[in-house]
Every structure is written in C-alpha cells, then in structure tokens.
Amino acid sequence: MTDDLCVTARGVSKIYPGTLALHKVDFNVYRGKVNVVIGENGAGKSTLMKILAGIEQPSEGAICLNGEEIHLKGTRDASERGIGIIHQELNLFPNLTVAQNIFMGRENTQYGVILDHKKHIEKTKMLLERLEHPIHPDTPVSDLRVGQQQIVEIAKTMAQQDLHVLIMDEPTSSLSTAEVEVLFRLIEELRGQGISIIYISHRLEEIMRIGDYVTVLRDGKLVGEEKVKNIDIPWIVRSMVGHSDTKMNYKQEKPIGDEILRVESLTLPRRGGGYTLDHISFSLRAGEILGIYGLLGSGRTELIECIMGMHPESTIDMYLEGKKIKPTSIWEQIQKGFAHIPEDRQREGLVQTLSIARNMTLASLWNYTKGIHLLHKKEDDSITKTIKDLEIKVADKNLPILSLSGGNQQKVVISKGILTSPKVLLLDEPTRGIDVGAKADVFKIVNKFAAQGMGIILVASELKEIIAIADRIIILSNGQATGELSGDEITEESLVKASGKGHTSGKLENIS
Ligand SMILES: Nc1ncnc2c1ncn2[C@@H]1O[C@H](COP(=O)(O)OP(=O)(O)OP(=O)(O)O)[C@@H](O)[C@H]1O
Ligand SMILES: [Mg+2]
C-alpha cells in the first residue's frame, strides 16, 4: 500500500536577488509520517518551509494540500489550513512572557473582549508540562536560554488548533539528549494522531531514528527522495555533500602547554536563593580543548558568560597566564585576550542591520586600522580568506547578514570571534545548525588555533560532537560540577550519567 500524500510542492522555484534559492523543486509530504528534509547549509530547506508556511511566496510552481492547489497569503492563512511551523531562527518577543508569546495572535477572550489571562496561564502550564520542561508561564522570554526558547517555540505551535501539518526547522539544535528524547516522544504521539511532520535537522542520527521519508536538496535542487528504512548515514552524507566520510573524530595530536587560565570558586547566585553556579573551579592549558557538558539549565552558558564578565553578581577568582584579572565587562575581557562566540546568534552574535563583511570584523576592527584610517585591503583579505576557510555560502559579502541561511550566519559568528586572535576562545554551541561537512571545517579551525597555543572552552549539547573534539570534559548539573573526564574515560555513558546527577525536574521553577 502506498502512503497517502498530504502536501505536495510541484516545480517550486524561489529567486532572491543574486540567489536562486530553489529551482523547480518537487516535494512530497506523506500523511501521518515524519518527512525529513536534508541538505547542506544554504541548500534551500528553510526557504521551502517558509513557502509551505505562507511566509514567502514561490517565484514559480504550485503547492497542493489534499490534492487541491492552494495560494497561501501569509502565516495566518497557513495556520487556518492547519499548517504550523517551528522556525529555525527563534521568533519570540523577548519583552513578553512565555504565556503571552504562546497565545500571541490567538488570544482567548472572556465575555467577548477581555483577554482570559488565567486560561492562558493554565494552558501554557499544560503545554510545557507535556514537553516536560516546566518553565513558569510568567517568565519573560528575555530571561530564557536559547534551548528554553526552542521549547517555548514548540509549545506555541502545539497550542495551534486543528494542526494537520507541523514543520520543524531544526527544533533540536540547542537541545541535549534528554530534551531530544521528550520531543521525540511528542513527535511519535503526533504522528500516531495522523499529523504530518516535516523535520529538518543536521543531526544525522536523529533523522535515522525519527524519519519515515527523507528528501535531499542540494544547491536549491531536488536530489531525491527515499524511505528512511532503505538508507543509512553514509547514504545521507553522500547525497548531501557528494562523499561519504562519516567518521566523527576531530581530535588531532597537538602539544598541550602550560596553564593559560585558572578559574577558582566561580559562583553565581540565583535570584530567590541557591546557586546557578556553585563554586566551580578548573584550569585550562594552552592548546587544550576543554568541553563543558550539561542539560538545559545546568549553568553551562552562564559559566562562559561569567568568564566574559557578563554577570556582575558573580564572584570569581581568575588568573590569565598567572596574572589575577577581574572580569568586569565583555569589552575589557576581549581586550585582555578572550573571545566569545555566544549561543544566541540573533540577539548577541550578529548586528542584523549590518552586512556580512562588517559583522565578521566587528570585534577585531583595531587589527585593520592605522591611526584613524581603516586598512580596507587588509580587512578585505582577511574576510575573503575566512569565507573560503569556513566555506561560507555568500553571493556577495556586502549583502545584509539576514540574507544568509541559518548555518551560514552561524559561520559568520564564528569568524567574528576567531578574527580577534584571542588567547582564550569561549565557544557556546558553535556548530548549532551547521551541516555535517562544515562541522569538520569548523573543528579543523578550532584545532588549528589550539595547536597554535590558544586555550579553548567549548559548550556543546550534542554528545557525539563534544566527545569527538574535547581533550577533557567537565560535566555540570544544576550548577555543580558533577564530573570531569579525560582521554578514554570520555564515553557517552559516563557523560549521561554525570549530567543527570542531582538533576531535579518536574518542579515548576522560575528560570530567572
Ligand atoms: N531573504 C533572503 N535574501 C537573499 N537570499 C536569501 C534570503 N533568504 C535565503 N537566501 C539564500 O537562499 C539560499 C537558501 O537558504 P536557506 O535558508 O533556505 O538554506 P537552508 O537549507 O535552510 O540552510 P541552513 O542549513 O544553513 O539553515 C541561501 O543561499 C541563502 O543565502
Ligand atoms: Mg535553514
């Protein structure tokens, strides 16, 4: 028996200035199945999803829903037909609360006019409990970490009534193992209810586990469609990038030098009592890649932010090359030799109104000045070289940063940090949304810098990835260091075990 089609795209093209993002693409969405879309960064995945969700209009071609051609005029139009989307770039309003975001545009009324706040709070609680992530509904979104925002995005789409098609554009890019499991259970449940799911991810194992069908895009064109049960990971890599080198071990022999950074008794008090980070101490040597692993809310991002001087309420004894320093602000820390690649590329990593090129050299402009003059040629050469090294897919480096695909924006965030040539590089989820081929490029560069004597601290939520690159890993759980592993001790099992220690879940907590 062949599966029933729910949505189809026929001969869909999308032209942006300077880019043919999609070229005559046919795409099938099977009813009650998980339909995976894969392709390198910039292949056209998000563009196709935006067309199916009514956000963008196709330049040519047709979209059919249940066999009937539809013309979606906007997201509301799509949502009325039961199509919901979880965006790759988080789309929440930072100044509003979780509940306000979830019910934005579909507010419940009481007696016809009054917004039913109580109802929103109750429903929000229910949705978040279903996602096993009890964030308080009144928490402002600006207090949430990227991973938590991702959960709120998911809840927001789940709040939509009569959902038939659910598009998930990299829903797990900031989630770690335990949180991915919860989402997968939810996906299975939705699939069981006959909801058609479109799932995009660069995490290949996820695709093999959750997918029923897979469609491959390359350079805006359809490469093919297969049933997941007929393929394997080498097939995915081959059809995405043209070769099937799937070994994930980025470790390189490199000299490890003297201690470059020492952190003693790093403490960040939590508002309302307790600690977000509870007396954490560690040292980092030149050339070493130190991984930090932990679940959402473990304090992994805050640890990096405290080193960068972003939390004035923290206390920390810190020594850089043996000299005591006080982290008071980001700019001071950058000048002392720290570079920070933040997890939230939209809010902290990029200036959205600037061009690709300007964003890249924003933190290192002093390298390209002589007196009051900007050394354009030197700056240009650095930018061109970095675009090539990281294979950033740009039509023109002077275009706005928002014209890049998600993964390519992330590569610009990485360039911005490494162009400052720091002594200590702090990477928070550097490969978020980066495709399998480009991950190897990013880690090659990280290794190159380590080999030159830079000290590197890396937060990564994908288990396999942190294992493949880190020399040593500190595990955080609930703000405490619950383990430290190096060499052969680093296994998936030992990491999962240590990251669950002392973890309290199921309790409604205010994140802030
Ligand atoms: N608003 C825009 N203006 C100009 N070009 C754009 C715009 N949006 C996307 N593009 C271009 O269209 C192409 C496809 O981008 P898209 O975001 O669909 O890629 P993707 O497959 O989702 O990649 P990723 O895995 O990095 O998210 C890219 O070359 C991108 O630069
Ligand atoms: Mg995308």
| Tens digit of each residue's pLDDT, the chain (512 residues) | 678 999 999 999 999 988 899 999 999 999 999 999 999 999 999 999 999 999 999 999 999 999 999 999 998 899 999 999 998 877 889 899 999 999 887 665 555 555 678 888 898 998 888 888 888 999 999 888 888 888 898 889 888 878 999 999 998 887 877 788 888 988 998 999 999 999 999 988 899 999 999 999 999 999 999 999 999 988 988 888 776 555 566 777 788 899 999 999 999 998 888 899 999 999 999 999 999 998 878 899 999 999 999 999 999 999 999 999 999 999 899 999 999 998 887 777 888 889 999 999 988 887 888 887 888 888 999 999 989 888 888 989 999 998 998 889 989 998 998 888 899 999 998 888 888 888 888 888 889 889 999 999 999 888 888 998 999 999 998 899 999 999 889 888 888 888 776 443 333 333 33
Tokens of residue 284, six digits: 């980092």
- State the total domains in the chain: 3
CA dist 289 and 454 (Å) reads: 9
248 inside domain: no
pLDDT at 424: 97
387 inside domain: yes
- 377 in Cβ contact with 370 (< 8 Å): no
Q: The domain spanning residue 72 has which CATH number? A: 3.40.50.300
Distances (CA, A) of 360 to 185, 325, 332: 39, 28, 20
CA dist 152 and 97 (Å) reads: 10
Which ligand does the CA of 201 lie closest to? Answer: 1
Q: Does residue 18 sit in the same domain as residue 123?
A: yes
246 inside domain: no
Distances (CA, A) of 64 to 9, 27, 121, 220, 460: 6, 10, 36, 20, 39
Query: Which of 358, 343, 332 has its CA nearest to residue 458?
Result: 343
Q: Does residue 120 sit in the same domain as residue 25?
A: yes
The crossing angle, in degrees rounded to 10, of helices 146-158 and 117-130 is 110
Which ligand does the CA of 216 lie closest to? Answer: 1
Q: Please tell me what DSSP assigns to residue 242.
A: S
278 inside domain: yes
- Kindly give the distance from the C-alpha atom of residue 90 to the centroid of ligand 1, in angstroms, as a whole number: 16
Distances (CA, A) of 40 to 174, 200, 223, 242, 399: 18, 11, 12, 11, 21
pLDDT at 457: 97
Find the helix or strand (DSSP H, E) in which 280 lies.
strand 275-285
Q: Does residue 411 sit in the same domain as residue 271?
A: no
Q: Looking at ligand 1, which atom is closest to the CA of residue 47?
A: 18
Q: Does residue 416 sit in the same domain as residue 430?
A: no
Q: Which residues have CB under 6 Å of ligand 1?
A: 16, 19, 21, 39, 41-47, 88, 393, 403-408, 433, 435
- Kindly give the distance from the C-alpha atom of residue 22 to the centroid of ligand 2, in angstroms, as a whole number: 13
249 inside domain: no
* Domain that residue 87 falls in: 5-241
Mutate to test the pocket of ligand 1, among 403, 413, 442 (most ligand atoms within 8 A of CB): 403
Which ligand does the CA of 51 lie closest to? Answer: 1
Residue that finishes a domain, picked among 421, 441, 474: 421
Find the helix or strand (DSSP H, E) in which 412 lies.
helix 406-418
Mutate to test the pocket of ligand 1, among 20, 356, 403, 405 (most ligand atoms within 8 A of CB): 405
102 inside domain: yes
- 36 in Cβ contact with 213 (< 8 Å): yes
Q: Does residue 284 sit in the same domain as residue 151?
A: no
Q: Does residue 57 sit in the same domain as residue 172?
A: yes
- 318 in Cβ contact with 327 (< 8 Å): yes
Q: Looking at ligand 1, which atom is closest to the CA of residue 170?
A: 27
127 inside domain: yes
Q: Does residue 329 sit in the same domain as residue 349?
A: no
Residue that finishes a domain, picked among 421, 444, 469: 421
The answer for residues whose C-beta is within 8 angstroms of residue 119's C-beta and 6 or more apart is 108, 110
Residue that finishes a domain, picked among 421, 442, 471: 421
pLDDT at 108: 59
Q: Does residue 136 sit in the same domain as residue 11?
A: yes
Mutate to test the pocket of ligand 1, among 19, 223, 355 (most ligand atoms within 8 A of CB): 19
Closest residue (by CA) to atom 17 of ligand 1?
405
247 inside domain: no
In DSSP notation, 400-464 reads: BGGGS-HHHHHHHHHHHHHTT--SEEEEESTTTT--HHHHHHHHHHHHHHHHTT-EEEEE-S-HH
Closest residue (by CA) to atom 12 of ligand 1?
21
- Kindly give the distance from the C-alpha atom of residue 46 to the centroid of ligand 1, in angstroms, as a whole number: 7
Q: Does residue 403 sit in the same domain as residue 435?
A: no
Q: Does residue 192 sit in the same domain as residue 261?
A: no
- Kindly give the distance from the C-alpha atom of residue 429 to the centroid of ligand 1, in angstroms, as a whole number: 21
- How do strand 5-16 and strand 60-65 relate by DSSP bridges? antiparallel
At residue 398, the 3 state secondary structure works out as coil
Q: Does residue 333 sit in the same domain as residue 360?
A: no
Closest residue (by CA) to atom 8 of ligand 1?
403
| DSSP β-bridge partners for residue 285 | 259
Find the helix or strand (DSSP H, E) in which 16 lies.
strand 5-16
CA dist 404 and 420 (Å) reads: 22
Query: What's the full length of the chain, in residues?
Result: 512
Residue 197 φ/ψ, nearest 5 degrees: -115, 135
Q: Does residue 415 sit in the same domain as residue 443?
A: no
